[in-house]
Each structure stands twice: as C-alpha cells, then as structure tokens.
Structure 1
Amino acid sequence: HSRFPIVDRQNKLAGLITSKDIIGKDLDEKLYRVMTKPAISVQLSTTVASCAHLMIWEGIELLPVTGNQKQLVGVISREDVLKAMQIVGRQPQVGETINDQVAKHIEIRNQQIIVEITPQLTNQFGTLSKSVSVAIIEETIKSVMRKHKKLEVMIESLNIFYIRTVQIESEVEVDYTILDMGRNFAKLEVTMFSANQPVAKALIMCQLLDH
C-alpha cells in the first residue's frame, strides 16, 4: 500500500501518511506534523458502491474503515472493492446478456427514460462501460419502438461518441430524436445525460420489423 492510517492512543483515526509526505523530512520528525488530516475514511456501514465512487472521485486507492467511535478497525483497498463487486452480482446469470441486464434497469419516469448505474453495469474502474452504453442505447430504441410503433427493431449501424465517464450509483437519462422514418427503417439520434451533462451521443440506423 502507498497510504497508511495513523491512530492516536485511543486507536482513533488521526490522519494518513504517504511516501510523499515523508520524502526529504528529518528522520526524527514526528508523523503528526507531516500527516494528512483530516483523513478521508468510511464506516463499517458504508456500501461497497459508495467506496468505489469515493475512490474514483478522490483518486485514492485505500480507505481507512472506522467504527462508531472513529476507532480504526481496518482498511479497504481498490482491489477489495473490485473483488466484492465481481462477487456480488457482476457475473450475469446463465444465458443472460449485457442487454438483458440493462433492460432490467430501464425505467420510464415522467415520460423520461432513466437508467440507474448499478455495480453490474460498470467496468473494473467503477464507471459505466462502453459496451453497456451501447446496450442502453439499443434497449432504449427497442423499448420506444415497441411502445409507440408496435414494431420490433433490428439495429443496422450505431456510431457512438463518448463525452465523459459516468460514475457508479449515478442515473443516466436517455433522450432521442427521430431524424427520419420510413415504412421499414428509422434513423435516430440518441443523447445520454448524467447530472444534466451530456455523456454520450449516438447516431443509429435500424430496420423496423413486423411481429
């Protein structure tokens, strides 16, 4: 590890020390003078998803874990978080595709298409993966066409441009515009938003098929 928690005499978290903090310092220098404080930490009740988000947001790879009285009880590393996310539901059920997983998380709320980004939809870095972004767009188009046109959809081409990453536990809103539509085809533009910021844009050509 590159970060080490420091505790006081009551075993309460006092700060953190890294190699950068002690480089060039006198060998007799006390740690409390050079440590980072207050230390970013989590509690035993903190979820794995929240730890992943905090690590990504703060750019850190290790978090001290404290009890109710701020006493240090352990540490959790990025490797611990990723391992837990893989164990808890990351692997799809037998025969289940990425699109199947995405379809479960699509929600229509106030006429808006919303997708909650859960651990199952993220990559090893805790952000929305590119393959899932494509699946969200595909499933959105299929859902829209089934609802409004009573037709099945076959995606012929999909060109996507990624603008920024989406963090775990975020919500993605999907907007679409029908650019052109014929009897057997449709051309759409789809934009994905998170926290009111565009995160991806896509241009899609698809065939419309009767049931």
Structure 2
Amino acid sequence: MATKHEKIIKHIESLPIGEKISVRLIAKAMDVSEGTAYRAIKDAENHGLVSTIQRVGTIRIEKKRKEAIKNLTFSEVLSVIEGEVLGGEKGLQKTLTKFIIGAMKEEAMVRYISKESLMIVGNREEAQRLALENGAAVLITGGFGTEKEIIDLANGKELPLMTTSYDTFTVAAMINRAMTDQLIKKEIMLTEDIYTKLNQTEYLSVDDTVDDYRKLNEASGHTRFPIVGKSNRLVGIVTAKDVIGKQDKMKIDRVMTRNPYYVKTHMSVASVAHTMIWDGLEVMPVVKDDLTLKGIISRQDVMKAMQSAQRQPQMGDTIADQINRLIKVPEETMESSETMELKFSVTPQMTNNVGTISFGVLSEVVSESAYKALASVHKRNLVVEQMSLHYFKLIQFGAEITIIPKIFDIGRKSARMDIELYSENGLAAKAIVVCQLIQKN
C-alpha cells in the first residue's frame, strides 16, 4: 500500500506543467498535515518535478533528461540576473540557446531572432513584440515594465517576459558567465549517469550458497556480486577470494564481506574513482538512501566516463574573451610604450540601448589594453587595482577605436598607465590605471 508521501508525489506528477504548488494547497488536496506536504514537495524538487523560483513561487516542471552539455533554462537566467517575471511563466523551464541585444532598428532585428533565444532590450515595446512574435523570450533592462498587450502576448506564446534593474552590458556579462559555468558543470559527471541499473545487475541473496555463487560466476564471467537481504537491501559483497576453499552448501552470508563500501546516485564520478583507487575496489554497489540496491558501478565504467569528460570542451566564450580577441596590435607598431597603438572595433553586442558602447565594455577594453601593453613590451603580467575612466564622447557600434597606452611609472611590483582612446571624432575617453605586477613563472 502506498504511503502518504508516495501519494503526494504521484499527485504532483499528475499536475500540468506550469501549475503553481504550495504546501497549503497540497495539504488540503491530499488531506495531510502541512509538514508531510512540505517534505513531499522538497523530495519532488530533488527529483526535478517542481522548481522554486524567486518572486514566482513553486511550480510543476517537466523532468528534464540529462544531456552531455546542459543549457541554461530561463528560470536559471531569472535567478542569475535577480529579475522579475512579467508574463509567460509557463515557459520558464525552456532552454536558452543564445541571446541577442536589441540595440538596432526593428527591421534589422528579425534575422537575428530565433526560437528559444532571448532578446535583451530596454523600454521598446515594438522590439519586445517583434521578439515574442518570432519565438524569442524577452528580458527588459533598466527596471522598466511594459504594456498589458505585451504581457498577454507572452502568456499566449508561453515565452518568458522578464525585467531586471541591471543595464544591458551587466546583464550580458552575467548570462555569459552563467553559460560558461554551465559548460563547466557538465564535466561534473554523477554516478546516476553511468551506473549499471538493477535489471542488468547480477546479485545474490543471503539465502544463497557458495555453490550459487560459483554457478553465477561461471554464467556471467564476473567475480564480485552484491548480497541483499529482506526488501532487497544491501548487506554485503562477495568476491572470488571469499569463497576459496569453502564448501558448496555454505550460506553466502557466512563468507561475504559485511558493511561494504557503497555509492549513491548523486555522488560525483570523480569521488567514486578516488575511493575505488584508494581502496583497490573493482566494483561498488549503488544504493538508495535506505540501502535498497539500485545497481552497481565498476572501475571500467568510471575510467570510460573520466576519459569522455576529458574530451569535452570546458569553457564558453564570454564578452571578455571577445574583447580580448578584438583588440589588435598593428604590425607596424614599434616596441615602445611611447608609440604603441592598439585597434578595437565596437560590435553591436557591446552597446547599450541607444547603440553606443557600454561604459562596462569600455572599462573592460581599458583593462585588456593595459594588459597587452605590459605583456607585449615588458613581458609582465598584471592585475588592475584602480581605474579612473572618463568617457568624453559617445562611441557608436561599428566604430574603430585607436587606443594609446603610455606607461609613466613602473616599479618592481606596480605600474601606472595613461590610456587614451580615440574615435573618428577625436579623443573619446581617457583613463589612469594602477596595476599590480605579477612575476611570470
């Protein structure tokens, strides 16, 4: 007979995707205490049946299959940017494939918009409508709201419509960072990804004999088997070494190793590998929290998984990476800090809502220019400790900036630089940068 906890889990599974869930509603619907309902909802969250989202609440979600490389969902993006949902809550569990910054005219946006993408835009209702109509979610920066018509459209399309108080560059940097972190997370492979399930696992019970072990050993070719007792709970493990010289009729529980090492599905493959190598184990049973046997994991499984993880890409491409690549040192530049000139082209992604370079991007350009100046001329590495940046003239996307870094003070542990940035209209920005120097090994 199913327990109250199991009945609540089944009830949650039967709810439609996007349905809001609360302890009080579950307790009332299932006629249980709020404490029982709370524990069941937490268990459902651990199993990926529900998700709790800030300012939205707990909602029923579709249980996602694990993939080799996981994408961010819009609910995770919402958490990263500390945003608020205006509409389209049912689409929060959809995955984000890419994001676009809406710094251009509507007619130019269409070719960049695709399904499951995210349009980052300010208080431009027409751009918001265009994105939703073409299958993209919308994130409104600057803390702005929007019209009821746009909210209704988001609800009808089941596409998240979110708002955040951060500016466009900050939001783009935060999402880039989250995407990179998500790519790194996929390297952390769990036991549940690779273990052999119970229906494919050979095992013995405490009532079996040494003769049963030998028959199973001959039929399967394996030498190590978990031993289970009542309710299929793990009680031990038996190996070929344990049965040497033992009589066929001897019960297996008299020769098995009791209290064996075991694994749970949420444990990382790396930690399992460490235990196996350290203790010389070839096989470990995989169990539930109550020690019910779920399967086994072998050293061979672990080694294959670790080799596969090494072949996966480990890093995403952030805006800082893009800026670094876009800063060019012309070949004709002489190796002197007095005459060095760097070139940088502004892309649309690096602009704010009015199409000019974001102050945050400009700060990153200055930092990277300081690094390149010292790295190429003085072969020194650095950390920027202070920066005084003055932005005189607006620099629009597509503009080419000439950057002139000048080192006016350098010592053993620090350096000070004057960095000027010129656009087509003359001096556009100027910065004084104080750096801590790091000795390269």
TM range (shorter): 0.5 to 0.7
Q: Does structure 1 residue 157 correspond to structure 2 residue 378? A: no
TM-score by length of 2: 0.28
Alpha-carbon deviation of 1:86? 7.6
Structure 1 residue 124, shift from structure 2 partner: 2.3
Correspondence for 2:318: 97
Question: How far did 1:79 drift?
Answer: 4.1
Match of 2:367 among 124, 132, 138: 138
Superposition deviation, residue 166 in structure 1: 0.4
Distance in structure 1 (CA, Å) of the matches to 2:395 and 2:379: 32
TM-aligned CA distance change 1:133 to 1:79, over 3 Å: same
> Which residue type is aligned with residue 378 of structure 2?
K
Q: CA deviation at 1:145?
A: 1.0
Equivalent in the alignment of 1:108: 329
Which residue matches 1:120?
349
SS in 1 for 2:398: coil
Which residue, out of 413, 416, 435, partners 1:184?
413
What does the per-residue CA deviation read over 1:160-204, in whole Å, with 9 as the maximum and x for residues that have no partner?
011011011110000122121111110111110001511111111
Per the alignment, residue 169 of structure 1 pairs with 398
Distance 1:138 1:84 in 2: 33
| Contact 1:102/1:121 (<8 A) preserved | no
Q: Which amino acid aligns with 1:209?
A: I
Separation (CA, whole Å) in 1 of partners of 2:429 and 2:318: 22
List gaps (5 residues or longer) in structure 2: 1-102, 121-171, 181-315, 334-340
Residues 373, 405 of structure 2: 8 Å contact kept = no
Supply the distance in 2 between the matched residues of 1:168 and 1:204 (Cα, whole angstroms): 25
In the TM superposition, 1:1-211 aligns within 5 A as 52=104, 78-81=105-108, 92=176, 94=180, 95-109=316-330, 110-111=332-333, 112-195=341-424, 197-211=426-440
Q: Distance in 2 between matches of 1:122 and 1:207?
A: 29
Task: For 1:98, give the aligned amino acid.
Answer: I
Q: When the two structures are aligned, how many residues end up with a matched partner?
A: 136
CA deviation after TM superposition for structure 1 residue 120, in Å: 2.2
Q: Aligned equivalents of 2:433 and 2:113: distance in 1?
A: 32
Instruction: Work out whether residues 158 and 205 of structure 1, in 8 Å CA contact, stay in contact via their aligned partners in 2.
Output: yes
- Richer in helix (by share): 2
8 Å Cα contact 2:414/2:436 also seen in 1: yes
Taking only aligned residues, the RMSD between alpha carbons, in angstroms, comes to 2.7
Aligned residue for 1:150, secondary structure, equals coil
Q: 1 CA distance for matches of 2:389 and 2:111?
A: 31
Query: 2 CA distance for matches of 1:97 and 1:84?
Result: 22
Change (3 A) 1:169 1:85: farther
8 Å CA contact 1:154, 1:209 repeated in 2: yes
* Structure with the bigger percentage of strand: 1
1:38 corresponds to = none
Higher relative contact order (CA 8 A, sep 6+): 1
Q: Partners in 1 of 2:359 and 2:113 — Cα distance?
A: 18
Of all paired residues, the percent bearing the same amino acid is 26
Partner SS for 1:169: coil
Deviations 1:16-75 (A, max 9, x none): xxxxxxxxxxxxxxxxxxxxxxxxxxxxxxxxxxx94xxxxxxxxxxxxxxxxxxxxxxx
Provide the C-alpha distance between the structure 1 equivalents of 2:113 and 2:382, rounded to a whole number of angstroms: 32
* Partner Cα distance (1:136, 1:118) in 2: 13
Distance 2:425 2:106 in 1: 31
Q: Bigger radius of gyration, 1 or 2?
A: 2
SS of structure 2 residue aligned to 1:108 = coil
Shift of 1:205: 0.4
Amino acid of the residue matched to residue 349 of structure 2?
A: Q
Q: What SS does the corresponding residue of 1:191 show, helix, strand or coil? A: strand
In structure 1, list runs of 5 or more residues that go unmatched.
1-50, 53-77
CA pair 86-103 structure 1, distance change in 2 beyond 3 A:
farther
Secondary structure at 1:128's aligned position in 2?
A: coil
